[in-house]
Structure 1
Amino acid sequence: MRYRRFGKTQLNLSVFSLGTMRFASAQVAHQVLSAAIAQGINHIETARSYGQSETWIGQALKAGVGVARSQLVLTSKVAPNPDEAAVERQLEESLTRLGVDCLDCVAVHGLNTPQHLDWVLASQGTLAVLRRAQADGRVRHIGFSTHGPLAVIEGAIASDAFAFVNLHYSYFFQRNVVAVAQAAARDIGIFIISPADKGGLLYTPPDRLKALCAPYDPLLLTYRWLLSDPRITTLSLGPAVPEELDWPLQVADSTDPLTPDEQAAFARLAQQQAEQLGTDRCSQCYQCLPCPEEIHIPEVLRLRNLAVAYGMSDFGEYRYRMFEQAGHWFPGRRGDRCTDCGDCLPRCPEQLDIPTLLRDTHERLKGPARRRLWD
């Protein structure tokens, strides 16, 4: 296992972190924690919203996981909220459940909208509570976790209020590369979240993607793409059982620059996308937004890019079904909401037939119809 400095926190984190959302029981939580720590992971990431995760981690730490508490970095989260009393309750509940007096890191969880950012940065609100907790020793470092648009992420980084960021960024979603650069320039620690699941369902890659990446495994190759970037401190893993650590941790000491053969594999992926999509390829410039119908055009077309080029239709369906279902965690409406208003067309530098591509994406990724109860 390699370790990297987590920006201005000065903490040295393992390049893989243990995400704890998928634990099914206290016993399994203890087993996974012990196995992860035995393999060199020293960063444990949880949240109040992860079911019983905090409680089970607290029980495991009390029972013993092979190392002292002082050798671990423990992160939890609080939601953005203008009500200071509510934030204080969240923090105290997390400390109680985890059975600790101090959290190494606390992230503002789901800083996804301009309103959330306003709440957090206001003189009274989430950040004020966390700063007081930092002053009295209950919190060491404050950061934020986001699924939000780039403009919100840039605003949070520019505020200089945070020491680290939990960020979505992967080979198949490079929109946030600007945020990576900005965070690194301000010495903000960078924690990449869900690079396997939301990065492409890479635990179950389609055959076409496997063939293009060969002789490399798509999951491990894309992990290598992230680990080769020295600006990135750590990547999240979310095992449900100890055995699920073994596959990704094969590259836990592979942080060197990409080899020529690895670079050739990524060149094949780029060539495949260009050849398969031709003039229908969306380059993700985002100039088509805003859409009068609130369709997240670039994200819809990104999912189409991946399905057409690499056969990543299962991933496309998984994400496409989230439109209109997940609020600020995954904003935007489905492609079939297009009314052919044409507002986006003159703003597209590639002159894509966006309405046609939106409808095509809907047909490809809407998935099978679900029976209604009264049918």
Structure 2
Amino acid sequence: MLYRRFGRTELQMPVFSCGGMRYQFKWQDVPRDQVPSDNQANLEATIRRAFDLGIYHIETARGYGSSEMQLGQILPKLPREKLISQTKIVPIADPKAFQKTFEKSLSYLKLDYVDLLGLHGINNQETLDDALRCLEVVRKLQDQGKVRFVGFSTHGSTESIVNAIETNQFDYVNLHWYYINQQNWKAIESANDRDMGVFIISPSNKGGNLYDPPKRLVDLCAPLSPMVFNNLFCLSHPQVHTLSVGAAKPSDFDEHLKTLELLDRADEILPPILERLEQAAIERLGSDWVKNWRVGLPDVEETPGRLNLHTVLWLRNLAIAYDLVDYAKMRYNLLGQGSHWFPGARVNEIDIEALRPYLTQSPFADRIPELLHETHQLLGGEAVKRLSQQ
């Protein structure tokens, strides 16, 4: 395993972290005796494999159902001096209720303290305001030795992430950034300016469902698998410290490990693959579109009906350029189902004609309405709920 300094925490963070949202039994709290023995055995085997590999960062959340409770059966058995424990709790307007939730998390985990406490889902100004109110409680928890460092996780816009970073109240950030979605680079730079740790959320799943990639993407990333390519792309940037591996079983680490021996040669390995990927997109979408499609697009709050125009067109690009149709369908049909976690409407829920006056700054203003119709025909389907809502 390789390690990177996790910003001002000074923790030596493994470049892969073990995320805790795919091996648990339920997305709701359940009594311990309702967890099937084979499920618990698999979870414990996954955590032990992570430790055997030097992946000492175990990351979960109060919102991951039975994950904390099940981890509490294995974490106290591990060497505490090596374990980097992290849980995440959604900030709320009532700090006292937030503290009660934290105490529940700590009791489930059966730990005296957590190394990293993340305020979960700072996605807009309202959730940032709630988080800042909860920080008074968090500081007391730090004084009591129950929390070492505090950060936040986010699915918000780059602007909202930077706003949270610029409060300088957080030691690290969990955010989305990978090859197919590089929008948050400004936020990563801002975090580095403040010496914060940078944790990339779900690069293999949210980064294109790379556990089951389409053949076109496999061919374009050769000789690497799309998963290893994406890992190498992310970790070739020293501003990124760790990538989450949402392991569901012990063997899920295997493909990721192939990245480690390649890091020293990233400058040699990546350029031809990056060139192929760019040319493949240009081949199917056109050079002008690939280079300029984002220009002048209104954001979701400025768009009639709250159409998430950037996301809709981005998903269309991925489906057409790289055959990431299944991934794009899944993400498209989440729109409007996840509140501030994945905001905006789908195309069939808005009046496209009412959109035209808001497109005047786009060089593709005349094309976009028809492209939106095309995108809904390609990707539309049954609305999809977030995993935690299922």
Q: Report how far residue 107 of structure 1 moved.
A: 0.4
Q: Does the Cα contact within 8 Å between 1:338 and 1:355 map onto a contact in 2?
A: no
Residue 102 of structure 2 is aligned to residue 94 of structure 1? no
- Once residues 170 and 14 of structure 1 are traced to their aligned partners in structure 2, the CA distance between those partners, rounded to angstroms, is 18
What stretches of structure 1 of length at least 5 have no aligned partner? Answer: 371-375
| Corresponding residue number in structure 1 for 2:204 | 196
- Once residues 233 and 254 of structure 1 are traced to their aligned partners in structure 2, the CA distance between those partners, rounded to angstroms, is 16
- Once residues 38 and 170 of structure 1 are traced to their aligned partners in structure 2, the CA distance between those partners, rounded to angstroms, is 27
Match of 1:190, SS state, is: strand
Match of 1:269, SS state, is: helix
Q: Structure 1: which amino acid aligns with 2:181? A: F
Q: CA, structure 1 residues 286+187, in 2 after alignment: closer, same or farther (shift >3 Å)?
A: farther
Q: CA-to-partner distance for each residue in 1:151-187, whole Å, 9 max, x for gaps?
A: 1101001000000000100100011011111111111
Q: Answer with 259-268 or 42-51: which moved more.
A: 259-268
| Corresponding residue number in structure 2 for 1:301 | 313
Q: Structure 1: which amino acid aligns with 2:115? A: D
- Once residues 319 and 270 of structure 1 are traced to their aligned partners in structure 2, the CA distance between those partners, rounded to angstroms, is 22
Match of 1:260, SS state, is: helix
Q: Does the Cα contact within 8 Å between 2:296 and 2:363 map onto a contact in 1?
A: no
Question: Structure 2 residue aligned with 1:161, among 165, 169, 172?
Answer: 169
Alignment of structure 1 residues 230-309 onto 2, 5 Å? 230-256=238-264, 258-278=266-286, 279-281=288-290, 283-285=293-295, 287-289=297-299, 290-309=302-321
Matched residue pairs, number? 364
| Corresponding residue number in structure 2 for 1:323 | 335
TM-score by length of 2: 0.90
Residue 340 of structure 2 is aligned to residue 340 of structure 1? no
What is the percent sequence identity of the aligned residues? 40
Q: Answer with 226-235 or 206-215: which moved more.
A: 206-215
- Once residues 344 and 197 of structure 2 are traced to their aligned partners in structure 1, the CA distance between those partners, rounded to angstroms, is 29
- Once residues 155 and 310 of structure 2 are traced to their aligned partners in structure 1, the CA distance between those partners, rounded to angstroms, is 15
Q: Report how far residue 344 of structure 1 moved.
A: 2.6
Q: CA, structure 1 residues 131+254, in 2 after alignment: closer, same or farther (shift >3 Å)?
A: farther
Q: Report how far residue 253 of structure 1 moved.
A: 4.5
Q: Does the Cα contact within 8 Å between 1:2 and 1:255 map onto a contact in 2?
A: no
CA RMSD of the aligned region, Å? Answer: 1.7
- Once residues 237 and 157 of structure 2 are traced to their aligned partners in structure 1, the CA distance between those partners, rounded to angstroms, is 22
Q: Does the Cα contact within 8 Å between 1:227 and 1:254 map onto a contact in 2?
A: no
Q: Structure 2: which amino acid aligns with 1:329? A: W
Q: Answer with 166-175 or 209-218: which moved more.
A: 209-218
Residue 128 of structure 2 is aligned to residue 114 of structure 1? no
- Once residues 295 and 221 of structure 2 are traced to their aligned partners in structure 1, the CA distance between those partners, rounded to angstroms, is 26
Q: CA, structure 1 residues 215+8, in 2 after alignment: closer, same or farther (shift >3 Å)?
A: same
Question: Structure 2 residue aligned with 1:78, among 71, 85, 89?
Answer: 89
Question: Structure 2 residue aligned with 1:61, among 65, 70, 75?
Answer: 75
Question: Structure 2 residue aligned with 1:135, among 137, 143, 146?
Answer: 143
- Once residues 91 and 286 of structure 1 are traced to their aligned partners in structure 2, the CA distance between those partners, rounded to angstroms, is 42
Match of 1:47, SS state, is: coil
| Corresponding residue number in structure 1 for 2:16 | 16
| Corresponding residue number in structure 2 for 1:314 | 326
Q: Does the Cα contact within 8 Å between 2:333 and 2:382 map onto a contact in 1?
A: no
What stretches of structure 2 of length at least 5 have no aligned partner? Answer: 26-38, 385-390
Q: CA-to-partner distance for each residue in 1:239-277, whole Å, 9 max, x for gaps?
A: 111111111122135433623342111111011112211
Q: CA, structure 1 residues 240+192, in 2 after alignment: closer, same or farther (shift >3 Å)?
A: same
Q: Report how far residue 61 of structure 1 moved.
A: 2.2
Q: Report how far residue 303 of structure 1 moved.
A: 0.3
Q: Report how far residue 306 of structure 1 moved.
A: 0.5
| Corresponding residue number in structure 2 for 1:363 | 377
Q: Report how far residue 218 of structure 1 moved.
A: 0.9
Question: Structure 1 residue aligned with 2:230, among 217, 222, 225?
Answer: 222
Q: Structure 1: which amino acid aligns with 2:12? A: N
Q: Does the Cα contact within 8 Å between 2:296 and 2:361 map onto a contact in 1?
A: no
Structure number having the greater helix percentage: 2
Q: Report how far residue 225 of structure 1 moved.
A: 0.2
| Corresponding residue number in structure 1 for 2:30 | none
Q: Report how far residue 280 of structure 1 moved.
A: 4.4
